[in-house]
Chains A and B, each alone.
Chain A
Amino acid sequence: MSTLAVAAVLIVLLFVLLAGGLWIAMAMSVVGWFGLQFFTNSPPEASLFQSFWGATASWTLAALPLFVWMGEILFRTKLSEEMFEGLSPWLGWLPGRLMHVNIIGCGIFAAVSGSSAATCATIGKVALPELRKRGYDEKMSLGSLCGAGTLGLLIPPSIIMIVYAVAAEVSILKMFVAGVLPGVLLIALFSGCIAVWALVSRGKVPPPEPGMTWRERLRRSRNLIPTVLLITFVMSMMFTGYATATEAAAVGVLGSLAIAGWSGSLSWATFRASLMGATRLSCMILFILAGAAFMSSCMAFTGVPRALAEWVASLHMHTYGLLAVLSVIYVLLGMVIDGISMIVLTMTIVLPMVQAAGLDLIWFGIFIVILVEIAQITPPVGFNLFVLQTMSGRDINYVARASIPFFFMMLLALAAIVAFPGLATWLPDALLGATRS
């Protein structure tokens, strides 16, 4: 059997198992076992043991449970109320006024949380009813929250970036730094989108709030100061190369516990809930990584990724062509599966192609994270849509339609990093040194 035929068999098997509803990590394990058992002479049980142990007993990966925990702790504080109260006095002068709280709030929460659904839910919980009460357009409000919530994935710390960095064997720190400028770009695009909308449909924006003295504004924002300090501290530790991602994550956990304690929302019950929540979430991700490692080892033994990479190379596609094809595939995949599975399921096969095309793996990581962000807001499976659907009581199609302008902003950001790769690669190279693999 040719290697390409083996590839076809394994990929079809994977799709059948996934579509059948088998748990994703288990489906990958079945494919790993099947491939090794029938197409190689390598004993599958040895690979399984090495993959399960090797993939999870990892010092760098330990940053993941810690960042998950940090997000879980802050998710249970009063940050969402404080965010609206603290940001609204400063944003009223922009065209679109308080609608920008959605974008900036998500941007800030994204810097403490690595999750898109949590970002969307935290900011939406208070902003959505407050904006509605003040008479802001609900559709635009929902769309902007849906889009900006995905910043949780792009702005460090990001769980999905850790998963990518582990799968692609690149530095977690570099991925984090690389996400900063594209994150800022997306914030600007989202805010710009609101501003343009506000300018063309003037009647839909309610009148400005009564003016406030600077003193009053600062008083309202004072509760945000500890969070902003924590973000600055954790980021600067990582970005100056002073601490590793895992160390920074541990400091982040300590800092968020301190913030929760200071704001009075830390009790034994919330502590336990945050820790158990983090344990379940990181267990789910690590189990997927273990299954993925097993499937990858099978792929490596059968030579499938190399054969596919050579096949793709033989098509002499232009790099842009390859990226366009990958984008379409990922957007389609993103309609039915979640981001993490999307990345781990495809990495073994896609990375050799990407490397053969001479693309930088850090850059490609950002490219793929933006595609995963898009996946978060495309129906039928898009978790931000689910979050806002239940929060607003609207049906999913309404939320999806509301997100369309922001969907295009993300495509624009994607095009921008393809046209100007430096957006993703300049900052990490400048801060952490250019060590290309």
Chain B
Amino acid sequence: MRRFLDRLYLASAVAGAVCLASIAVVMLLQAGMREAGLLLRGADDIVSWLCAASAFLALGYTFRSGELIRVSLLLEQLPPRSRRPAETACLVAALLVVGYATWAVAGFVYESWQLGEVAQGLLQIPIWIPQASLVLGLAVFLVAVIDELVQHLAGGKTAYQAAHDARRAAADFSSEL
């Protein structure tokens, strides 16, 4: 189970990374073809869809590596005894937010699939295809939040906390701007 979940987050993030790299490829192709007097049809649409997909598909993995920003200043001041319930409250709130977002987004994408809505723009494909990346990414994110909550309630250290502590220990600030 553990191995399956870790692979799920990683696979989703790798898909996001491929989307990110594809943005560069499509942009370069478009620029190259323009120089040659050709037009890459719908490149702008593809780039914007890839941009959304790269972000959402990587959410679960980024969350677990502790790189989603939060204000931990007050939390870190708390004594360990009251820090645990505070962390539980945060994770439960996260569960509600991500659960709600997944439900809301899935509902709309399902509707557009049912109605057969088509993308506005040069590429007239069903819009649910690019939008599915949001549903998929949020669903993986939801699984990751549940995973962390279970881990936390079982008394263990969450993956995001462990990753955060490890980065601080290694003086790695590459995840900050």
Name B27's contact: one of A66, A279, A283, A338 (CB within 8 Å): A66
Residue A21 contacts which of B48, B70, B130 (CB distance < 8 angstroms)? B70
Q: Which residues of A contact B17 (CB under 8 A)?
A: 275-276, 278-279
Q: Please state if A380 and B177 are interface contacts (CB–CB under 8 Å).
A: no
The answer to whether B24 touches A58, judged by C-beta atoms less than 8 angstroms apart, is no
- Give the size of the chain A interface in residues (CB under 8 angstroms): 76
Size range of the interface on B? 35 or more
| Minimum CB–CB distance for A437 against chain B, Å | 22
Q: List B57-91 residues whose CB lies under 8 Å from chain A.
A: 58-59, 61-63, 65, 67-75, 86-87, 89-90
Q: Does B174 count as interface, using CB distance less than 8 angstroms?
A: yes
Contact of B104 among A30, A48, A58, A159 (CB under 8 A): A48
Main secondary structure of the interface of B (DSSP, over half): helix
On whether the beta carbons of A282 and B54 are closer than 8 Å, the reply is yes
* Min distance, Cβ B131 to any Cβ of chain A, angstroms: 6
Q: A337 to B44, alpha carbons, bound, how many Å?
A: 34
The answer to the question of B159 belonging to the interface, with a C-beta cut-off of 8 Å to chain A, is: no
CB-CB under 8 A for A20 and B97, given A59-B47, A279-B13: no
List 24 A–B pairs whose Cβ atoms lie within 8 Å, in order of A's numbering.
Answer: A18-B71, A19-B74, A21-B87, A22-B93, A23-B63, A26-B98, A56-B51, A56-B56, A65-B23, A66-B24, A75-B174, A117-B173, A247-B30, A250-B28, A275-B21, A280-B13, A281-B175, A283-B62, A284-B62, A338-B69, A381-B73, A383-B176, A383-B177, A387-B173
B residues with a Cβ closer than 8 A to A are 13-14, 16-17, 20-21, 23-24, 27-28, 30-31, 44-45, 47-52, 54-56, 58-59, 61-63, 65, 67-75, 86-87, 89-90, 93-94, 97-98, 100-101, 103-105, 107-108, 130-131, 134, 168, 171, 173-177
Task: Say whether, besides A21-B72, A26-B98, A118-B174, A279 and B58 are in contact (CB < 8 Å).
Answer: yes
The 5 residue pairs across chains A and B that have the minimum distance between CB atoms: A286-B55, A250-B27, A390-B171, A45-B104, A57-B52
Smallest CB gap from B63: residue in A: A23
Query: Is A33 an interface residue when CB atoms closer than 8 A count as contact?
Result: yes
